[in-house]
A and B are shown apart, each in its own frame.
Chain A
Amino acid sequence: MNIAVCICQVPDSASAVAVIDGALDMTRAAWVMNPYDEFAVEEAILLRDRFPGSTVTALGTSPESGKDLLQKALAMGADRAFDVRSFSPLQDPFQTAWVLAEALRNLYGEALPDLVLCGRESLDFQNASVPAMLAGMLGMVFTGPVSALRAEGEHLELERETEGGTELLVARLPLVISTEKGLNTPRKTGIRQVMEARKKPLEILQASQPPPPKVSLESVETVSKKKRCRFAATPEELAGMLHADGHFRHISGED
């Protein structure tokens, strides 16, 4: 089975992100693998180990320290990695998906991978758009976010959460899947795995200039959500305050 995993980096803490002169300042940020992508890498490795002859290829699109990101994927167990570089920073999910689709076509040709795994969303912008856009561009079937996966040959049994409960799906490869928390427990990597990862192939893949972004970031501002908290001395006083201010008004009706 040919498995591709698309990963990215996010700041390890949102508190390191600042706005200076109307632009995002990320200089204080430390970069880590997007937590949802860890589930994708882990699942790829589990599948590879179950199906002999499979290969896991990791593709990263992070401009900051893409090499560290891909080294981590290799340390977790990916077989090879590609640092997908673009001429200018990718500006929206459409550009990111476009660059990834091009990279996958270049690597796999018309055959395309059997399975493409992506995290549900990146924790910095939380658009949750790249996986389905990528599938659309590749002409592959998309499903997600998937919280359980059982593989039986060409068929996959999947679970995804929806409004009414958990949907149990049966799907056939090839597929693009986005991964949800709970799918697996991503492995920790030790010094031995990190050393071994350095022997694995990590190449740079130059992307063409993508089409213009479909959405542009016009301005940013920091927000303070600080409110003046009114403290109640007793639970009875709190209930009275909430009632007096009309917060129980809608109860027994809709909402």
Chain B
Amino acid sequence: MAYYLVFLEPRNGLVAGVSADVWHRVQEQLFSGDRVAGFVAGSLSSGALDVLQGSGTVHHALSARPAVPSDMELCRMLSELVRKEGCTDIFMAATAAGRRLAPAIAATLPASLLAGCTSAYPDEKVCRRYIHSGSVLAAYRPQSAIRIVLQGREHRRVTFSSLERPRCVAFQESPGILRDAAPLIRAIIATSSSEDISEAGIIVAGGRGMGDAGRFAMLEELANLLGGSVGASRSAVDEGWRPHSQQIGQTGKSVAPELYIACGISGAVQHLAGLASARTIVAINSDPYAPVFDVADYGIVGDVREVLPRLTDAVRDVLRKK
């Protein structure tokens, strides 16, 4: 029987939406006898935990200090909770913090770390994930009694709803020893949320075929219309047209949108490696033999600079008629 622990990441005093999704995904997969616990640290707005539905207990670590606990403190608190409660599976959203924390906890407990699974572990007993730029699908079997699962966007489509609410237990965090050693966050240079491509449901991405940085305005227009984000290929980033935070592919981000529109992107294997979890791919390219058409569901051969404005107008038209 499984005992799940969900790491709930606070964001602006609330539970991050991605963490709530992981929580509900776990609730959805419970078998009789399974148990769930949540863990959240730091100060929260009142009612912040009301978004969580289903059974279980949420352990809320209160801190005397206003600051967010460091990764090391979080790792210590989570490891202690896992040992005390006897949790078998730790679920976390694959955020920047989750990706730092999961391997640290895996080394501490120790536990088997499963990340980037294409199959929804633990429905299957193995974690299937792409390796070698998406050219090989590997099945990994956890060997430890405790598993840590980092869940990406592709596993957070949930429809769970329940009248039940988890119980919340607040406790005073015991002071850590390595407090001074932890890095201090001095400032956050914010970007708008629409620029976070790893969470985007629709992505309009541009490559070398865009020709220059200015033409990305066309992609922004289409992305705004569709409620999506703009991404870029490595060559567009190397040209300095877009920031690295928007790069998709092997040396950039892996994305999992419902709809991916590749504009002037030839489709090098390194770029496609970041698209393994994209559901539907649309390709616009002037070269009919571009490899991107091999992985695309829809395609149009033509110069993006001519196709895009017309496509944007046409999409606006069909959306208006809707």
Contact = CB atoms under 8 A, between A and B. Distances in A.
B136 interface: yes
B322 A164 contact: no
A230 B298 contact: yes
Contact of A132 (B100, B300, B317): B100
Contact of A143 (B71, B111, B294): B71
Contacts of B183: 141, 143, 158, 169-172, 175
A229 B318 contact: no
B135 A132 contact: no
Nearest to B315: A239
B244 A236 contact: no
Identify which of B103, B226, B295, B313 gathers the most chain A CB atoms within 10 Å of its CB.
B103
A181 to B, nearest CB: 5
Nearest to A223: B137
A11 to B, nearest CB: 7
A182 to B, nearest CB: 5
B294 A229 contact: yes
Identify which of A94, A137, A226, A238 gathers the most chain B CB atoms within 10 Å of its CB.
A238
B144 A214 contact: yes
B207 to A, nearest CB: 17
A14 to B, nearest CB: 4
Contacts of B201: 250, 255
Given A141-B178, A229-B283, A230-B299, A136 B136 contact: no
B184 interface: yes
**Chief secondary structure at chain A's binding surface:** mixed
Contacts of B276: 225
Interface string A1-30: 000000000010111010100001000000
Given A162-B97, A230-B299, A248 B322 contact: yes
B319 interface: yes
Interface string B274-318: 001000111100000000011111111110000110110111011
Contact of B244 (A147, A160, A213): A147
B185 A248 contact: no
Contact of A226 (B193, B199, B269, B294): B294
Contacts of B130: 223
Given A163-B199, A215-B112, A129 B106 contact: yes
Contact of A230 (B180, B188, B297): B297
Contact of B103 (A19, A133, A213, A230): A133
A136 B199 contact: no
B251 A239 contact: no
A181 B234 CA distance: 11
B199 A141 contact: no
A126 interface: yes
A232 B298 contact: yes
Contacts of B193: 164
A203 interface: no
Contact of B135 (A17, A35, A175, A255): A17
A182 B244 contact: yes
B139 A218 contact: yes
Interface of B: 11, 70-72, 75, 95-97, 99-108, 110-116, 126-127, 130-144, 178, 180-191, 193, 196, 198-199, 201-202, 226-227, 244-245, 247, 250-252, 258-259, 269-270, 272-273, 276, 280-283, 293-302, 307-308, 310-311, 313-315, 317-319, 322
